[in-house]
Amino acid sequence: MSDAETIEILNVIQPGRTYRANRAKYDAMKTAVLKVLPKSAPGLTVEELGKGVLPHLPEKLFPGGATSGWWIKAVQLDLEARSVIARVKTKPLRLHKV
């Protein structure tokens, strides 16, 4: 995969560490996550987010929702590290836009 096809993502749990990921899948999931998450607390659980993003994902990249769980988590941790979304420390964990 070329540099144009990948993107460096962050992980809020591992500050300072970056990972390379498929840019098209990242961008599609990021768009879906930001479309579904509310602007304020209490937000959505990760399970609710997972169900909410599925209709917004391109079938070509996520056939039948395949691998969407991994991509939700990767995008969630990256967006948290970039302070685009925030978590509410409840059980279960809830997320919302900043």
Structural domain that includes position 51: 3-97
Give the integer Cα–Cα distance in Å for 63 and 68: 9
pLDDT of residue 48: 98
Higher-scoring residue by pLDDT: 69, 4: 69
Say whether pLDDT at 1 is over 70. Answer: no
Say whether pLDDT at 28 is over 80. Answer: yes
Nearest CA-CA partner of 50 in 26, 68, 76, 23? 68
How many domains in the chain? 1
Alpha helices in 7-83, H assignment, sequence order: 23-36, 46-53, 68-81
Going by pLDDT thresholds of 50, 70 and 90, the confidence category of residue 4 is confident
Q: How much is the pTM?
A: 0.93
